[in-house]
Chains A and B, each alone.
Chain A
């Protein structure tokens, strides 16, 4: 299967290379796979490449961390109380459906083309899935497990470590996965629209200056970054949630 998968990748690159030679592709100024990969290789040797990549990754990581720090406790608190849940339900339902990219122009006006602008905008879509899942966790985190813990007289630290945290994590996990992709999508969008340093603005610049091989090299970079993030999530899931019935044995 590994071999077949490798063949798929090679086949795709070959198709790309062939397609790049057609008139359609020529009109769109599309470089071949080899040229794009070659360009990516050259970029890898420049400090500018790593600075832009680091900037995007940094914005993404800060936005995600901030979303977790804000969203999870808030969601748990909301989920624990029926009254708080009822009170906040409609506000949350409304606020979370506003497309976060709508805030980019406002953020641009307020903060200019800064990394802070990108981070603020990326937090918006990332925080909601976490809040929602944390609310479920607060509502449903297995009360039976809590009773077991108490009856065995676990210490508070042990109870959090062995009982509460795994259970809550299982609830939060789907939200975390949505949050990571949403944060990355909006980070790149904000860079693209706002022009602050990062993959998004590099892509836009390459397009504006008609450097198509550079453009494709950056798109490949964005793809690899996304793949890397998904791979890390998959490893974490295997390490942390291998016991969970709905995730056991799942590949994705």
Chain B
């Protein structure tokens, strides 16, 4: 079915199709911003230079990027653990889950930022507030997807577990978790995006240190170029995180991808 042209030529053409627009966009905005730069839209070159000065030469990485990364990781990991555990429990106890549904529905319906002042009152402006809020808000999609994933375990597998007397821990690690994994990862991907957004917001209100803090601070002091460098770094940060997460997901779910490819290959 596949075309049998020279693979190198094909890859080259594919690469060209992928590349031309990003290149054009970057080049275009370089030129345009050089020509029509305003106070709010400084030339890209200036932004690039200042990014180097602030973030690489001036220690911005250690001061503002690293703390963001660490607290995001802490919050996100807590969300994954809590979401998966709660989700598994509720998935296995359908009646309890249904009884608790008004609460779970309500908590996930709250637009997370609305909880910020409450977290501020309970935990102050420090690290605890930031991590707790990131974890709490990004937990819900993971939990809900885990519930669905655990329920999707085939009833025959349920009988296999029974008749071969698998221990609860083995059931969790070898049956429920792998069965739910594709859905858990889908939830975690959403959760990561939410987590980054919440991270930026809490940093804007919390103690110094962090990307959100840096951007907000720059904006309030009308340091427009610095603000732009912050947005640039944040953009790259978000992109890399997402890419890393996908690579990780692909590794963990390789059986799943292989199976999908296999069954599709067999049917076509």
Contacts and interface: CB of A to CB of B under 8 A. Distances in A.
Report if A and B touch in the complex (beta carbons < 8 A).
yes
Nearest to A178: B190
B193 to A, nearest CB: 7
Interface in A219-252: 219, 222-223, 225-227, 229-230, 252
A181 B222 CA distance: 31
Nearest to B120: A207
Nearest to A83: B17
Tell me what chain B mostly uses at the interface: helix, strand, loop, or mixed. helix
Give the bracket for the number of chain B residues in contact with chain A. Answer: 35 or more
Contacts of A252: 144, 148
Contact of B40 (A8, A109, A189, A207): A109
B58 interface: no
A188 B52 CA distance: 33
Interface in B113-138: 113-118, 120-122
Given A89-B18, A230-B109, A8 B218 contact: no
A186 B17 contact: no
B227 A184 contact: no
A49 interface: no
Nearest to B38: A110
Give the bracket for the number of chain A residues in contact with chain B. Answer: 35 or more
B113 A189 contact: yes
Contact of B18 (A90, A98, A225, A227): A90
A9 interface: yes
B116 A192 contact: yes
Interface in A177-227: 178, 181, 184-189, 192-193, 199-200, 203-204, 206-207, 212, 215-216, 218-219, 222-223, 225-227
- Which of A1, A102, A108, A219 has its CB near the most chain B CB atoms (within 10 A)? A102
Nearest to B217: A105
B173 interface: no
Contacts of B228: 106
Contact of A186 (B197, B211, B219, B241): B197
Contacts of A105: 215-216, 218-219, 227, 231
Contacts of B114: 188, 192, 199-200, 203, 218-219, 222-223
A114 interface: no
B235 A97 contact: yes
30 contacts: A4-B98, A8-B103, A28-B121, A28-B122, A83-B17, A86-B14, A87-B18, A87-B21, A94-B239, A97-B193, A99-B197, A99-B238, A101-B201, A102-B234, A105-B227, A105-B231, A106-B228, A108-B219, A109-B40, A109-B227, A193-B216, A207-B117, A216-B118, A218-B114, A219-B115, A222-B110, A223-B114, A225-B111, A226-B108, A227-B109
Interface of B: 14, 17-22, 25, 40, 95, 98-103, 105-118, 120-122, 144, 148, 190, 193-194, 196-197, 200-201, 204, 211-212, 215-216, 218-219, 222, 224, 227-228, 230-231, 234-235, 238-239, 241-242
Given A91-B22, A227-B105, 9 more contacts: A12-B103, A28-B121, A90-B21, A91-B25, A106-B228, A106-B231, A109-B219, A199-B114, A226-B109
